Amino acid sequence: MRLQDFAYDLPPDRIASEPATPRDAARLLVARHSGLEDRVVADLPDLLEPDDLVVINDTRVRAARLYGRRATGGRAEFLLLRREPGGAYHALVRANKRLRPGERIETDGDLVATLLERPDGGAIWRVGFEGGGDFCGDAENLEALLERVGHVPLPPYIKRPDVPRDKARYQTVYAREGGSAAAPTAGLHFTPELLKRLDPVAVTLHVGYGTFQPIDCERVEDHVMHEEEFEVTEKAAERIRSCKGRIVAVGTTTTRVLETLHRTGGVRAARGRTKLFLYPGRELEVVDVLLTNFHVPQSSLLLLVAAFIGLDRLKSAYAHALERNYRFFSYGDAMLAFR
């Protein structure tokens, strides 16, 4: 299957730079086999059946972006992906000129980042931190310091710096355990009132490079996902196993957790990593209904949605969304797709 099959033209003014207010006022494109319908996210409870079970991803986005100053005077930018047990971080690091192992870079919060190595020779560095006043080498103190001085990791297609209101809006209202470098964006549309009406169950996947890693091979089948951490409690697994209706996944990250469990022994309490890559030809087997945003062309997220509803239905839905002026990407509108 060719990556080019998942390209589409998107006018820049369709990329949302601000979220809908209130959250559930975002538009909702309902995609059934019988056709397409324009609604709003607040209508979601009326579009589901009483026995349906909504499953959400309760990860919390960390203040994962840091800005640094190189010894040469150049600038550097860090996107922290995950922390190792020993305290080092895996991070994407950007600079105008070549970065080298051992280089020390001053960053926000009086921290000094040391580039340790690139474990697989790719885009991701292992980075150690020191300094930071009261940090004193303690990993938990470092996490707290990073939360104070780091920036909200808005995606690069949002062409503005982060501002204080993004700390709340680029976070779901049910976020619990920190560890993500990007938001599970379908969940950004939920309000506390909507949660009460839907009574969802939560699983956890910490969004990392696997979710937003570009696909750089022409054959879709050649792409290899980076691993991301997930966790499912016994309480959550029991609710999912006992569901008498449809499984409604909120977002592609929730979907990958559920489909990973199915492929590795069934829905159960589990903690681990997944690199599951879903695309047409590797169909979904657990999820019956998918709530998701409109995704970047040729991304793994778009391919997952195509695996769920088929490429032809996907193209029809996206053409409708473009024609009707839906807003795209992380702060944009949503689609409710039925298998």
What digits encode the pLDDT tens for the residues 37-83? 999 999 999 999 999 999 999 999 999 999 999 999 999 999 999 99
> Considering only CA atoms, which of 129, 122, 188, 177 is closest in space to residue 155?
188
The one-character DSSP state at 213 is P
Binned at pLDDT 50, 70 and 90, residue 131 comes out as: confident
Fold of 3-61+164-338: QueA-like (3.40.1780)
Binned at pLDDT 50, 70 and 90, residue 135 comes out as: low
pLDDT at site 137: 60
Other beta carbons within 10 Å of 225: 17
pLDDT at site 337: 98
| Residue 124 in tokens | 């991701």
Does the pLDDT value for residue 123 go beyond 90? no
**Residue range 184-209: average pLDDT?**
97
Peptide bond into 22 cis (omega under 30): yes
Residue 270 CA, distance from chain mean position: 20
Does the pLDDT value for residue 283 go beyond 90? no
pLDDT in tens, 136-149: 566 678 888 888 99
Other beta carbons within 10 Å of 45: 14
**In CATH, 65-149 is 2.40.10.240:** yes
Q: What is the pTM of this model?
A: 0.95
pLDDT at site 146: 87
Does the pLDDT value for residue 318 go beyond 90? yes
CA gap 20, 10 in Å, rounded: 20
**Residue range 86-91: average pLDDT?**
90
| Residue 106 in tokens | 């001053």
pLDDT at site 122: 80
CA gap 202, 72 in Å, rounded: 46
Does the pLDDT value for residue 178 go beyond 90? no
Other beta carbons within 10 Å of 40: 15
Binned at pLDDT 50, 70 and 90, residue 294 comes out as: very high
Domains of the chain, by residue range, sit at 3-61+164-338, 65-149
| Residue 125 in tokens | 């560095």
| Residue 178 in tokens | 């920190």
CA gap 145, 287 in Å, rounded: 39
* Burial 299-313, CB ≥16 within 10 A → b, else e: bbbbbbbbbbbebeb
Provide the mean pLDDT of the chain: 95
pLDDT at site 133: 66
